[in-house]
Amino acid sequence: MPSLTPAYLKINLLAGLTVALALVPEAIAFALVAHLSPLTGLYAAVIVAFITSCFGGRPGMISAAAGSLAVVMVALVVQHGAQYLLAAVVLMGVLQLLFAAARLGKFIRMVPHPVMLGFVNGLALVIFLAQFNHFKEPGPDGSAQWMAGSELAVMAGIIVVTMAVIYLTPRLTKAVPSTLVGILVASVGCALLGIETKTVGDLGSIAGGLPGFALPDVPWNLETLRIVFPYSLVLAGVGLIESLLTLTLIDEITDTRGQPNRESLALGAANVAAGLFGGMGGCALIGQSMINVNSGATGRLSGIAAALFLLAFILFGSGWIEAIPLAALVGVMFVVCEKTFEWGTFRLVGKVPRADLCVIVLVAGITLVYDLALAVIAGVIVSALVFAWQHAKQVRAAVSHDEQGWKVYALEGTLFFASVTPFQALFTPKDDPQDVIIDFLHARVVDHSAIQAIDALAERYRLLGKRLHLRYLSPDCRELLDKARGMVEVNLVEDPRYRVADDKLA
């Protein structure tokens, strides 16, 4: 627990205030995307941010209502109503609690770096493009139309001024978060100059009271479970993936180590509470987390402060917050996108394997077009297949003859499903002498496909009337082999010991 020095308090409280201001339009917009009231998104932001900041495994990370979840929720709300969504959010939290109880969070460390880069770049583009929705307004026929003329020029001007202030402020002082200075300069400037522009209040009113506890008003039966479970499962997966990948990103930025299982546990508890108190649930937000960390706030206080400031806005300060120019917050998010995007990706061209670059582009593209969970799963699968392909090509054999004239294949590499074909191509049974040795001292047999390949090779030599001698195989291999079992030469002192992935041994 860091000491509560004046400097620590100032950094974290000001960062929390900045994050709270940035959360308002996002929470409202996400709620509207899901066809919910603005307060549903705001209550979720307060509850999820507070609980995850207090008890989560990654201090400094901000969680709240998220757009990646909103796009999943909309179909359920349209078809069955908001109460079914609240039930789905509660179940989502329960599934995340089970995930944490099973201690599965550690597997996020297995996500390859190219997938991480694609995730970061994809979300940066998603956040960037989402801001352009604020450049639209209802037309005469009720459809959304792009701004034009002086209205567009004013909004663009405020965005440019806000971004300029954010970039220039650190050169003058680092005592106050530059994003907060940018919001204040834009808000005060518009008020003093009487500039008419779109404000936070145009998205919806944020005035309200304390969230109240209530069980979702749905029938508590198997039919309701059948309706909400598929949505809850997807929501739980998307929320966990986005939160744990954001946790990993902040770990890299701060050179510290978060606790994935603890974060999953806190996120699950937060979503259960959100569903019971009228919130739409949430997960980590990379944009607001970057605002927080870039402000120097890497403790729990900033997230707690953001939740409490946001609640204060709802209870007491709605009039002031609704008067903030929306363009100022759009400018903040544009800066966040610029700082989040890994521009170094372009310097990797020609320096890393093309397969890695393809994975980065694939994950970013799927994140942009579909959703984050699908993008990460696709990226991991493609990375695994590329790894298997590259590893399969590393199987080779040094060929020699011993003093008896027996031919010796000294095998190197890993024998598994992807390397079976190149393994079989190493041998020439018809041309080999009567006795052949395969030396596995510098090789590893991994799975059932490898065992089958050894058996098949032994059968080829047997049909030709030749003797095959298998050396340096593990006890697992000897037990699993069928046709080649009698050809294994056992050396209890020198034989390696490793496991083979095969259900036969279970």
Q: What is the pLDDT of residue 269?
A: 97
Residue where a domain stops, chosen among 366, 385, 404: 385
Between 162-166, 348-352, 399-403, 421-425, the lowest mean confidence (pLDDT) is in: 348-352
pLDDT in tens, 283-293: 999 888 988 99
Residue where a domain stops, chosen among 343, 360, 385: 385
pLDDT greater than 80 at residue 35: yes
What is the DSSP code string of 18-45?
HHHHHHHHHHHHHHHHTT--HHHHHHHH
Q: Domain check: are 194 and 319 in the same one?
A: yes
Tell me the residue range of the domain where 443 lies.
394-489
Q: What is the pLDDT of residue 2?
A: 61
**Whole-number Å distance between alpha carbons of 184 and 313:** 16
Kindly give the residue spans of alpha helices, DSSP state H, lying in 295-371. 300-315, 318-322, 326-340, 354-369
Q: Domain check: are 376 and 432 in the same one?
A: no
**Whole-number Å distance between alpha carbons of 272 and 506:** 38
Q: Domain check: are 154 and 267 in the same one?
A: yes
In a domain, 1, yes or no: no
Q: Domain check: are 327 and 400 in the same one?
A: no
Q: Domain check: are 232 and 332 in the same one?
A: yes
In a domain, 168, yes or no: yes
Q: Domain check: are 84 and 207 in the same one?
A: yes
Do residues 408 and 402 lie in contact, with contact meaning Cβ atoms separated by under 8 Å?
Answer: yes
Q: Domain check: are 457 and 336 in the same one?
A: no
In a domain, 480, yes or no: yes
Q: Domain check: are 321 and 407 in the same one?
A: no
Count of domains in the chain? 2
Rounded to an integer, the average pLDDT of 159-178 is 89
Q: Domain check: are 294 and 399 in the same one?
A: no
pLDDT greater than 60 at residue 505: no
In a domain, 495, yes or no: no
Q: Domain check: are 189 and 336 in the same one?
A: yes
In a domain, 501, yes or no: no
**Whole-number Å distance between alpha carbons of 448 and 455:** 11
Q: Enter the DSSP assignment of 444.
A: E
pLDDT greater than 80 at residue 398: yes
The overall average pLDDT reported for the chain is 89
The vertex-284 CA angle with 10 and 380, nearest 5°, equals 135
pLDDT in tens, 128-165: 888 888 888 877 777 778 888 888 999 999 999 999 99
Sign of CA dihedral 387, 389, 390, 393: positive
Residue where a domain stops, chosen among 385, 418, 448: 385
Q: Domain check: are 354 and 422 in the same one?
A: no
Rounded to an integer, the average pLDDT of 5-18 is 90
In a domain, 146, yes or no: yes
Q: What is the pLDDT of residue 320?
A: 86
pLDDT greater than 80 at residue 85: yes
Q: What is the pLDDT of residue 349?
A: 84
In a domain, 268, yes or no: yes
pLDDT in tens, 192-229: 999 989 888 888 788 888 999 999 999 999 999 999 99
In a domain, 294, yes or no: yes
Residue recorded with tokens 């009231």: 37
Q: Domain check: are 298 and 336 in the same one?
A: yes
* 445: CATH: 3.30.750.24
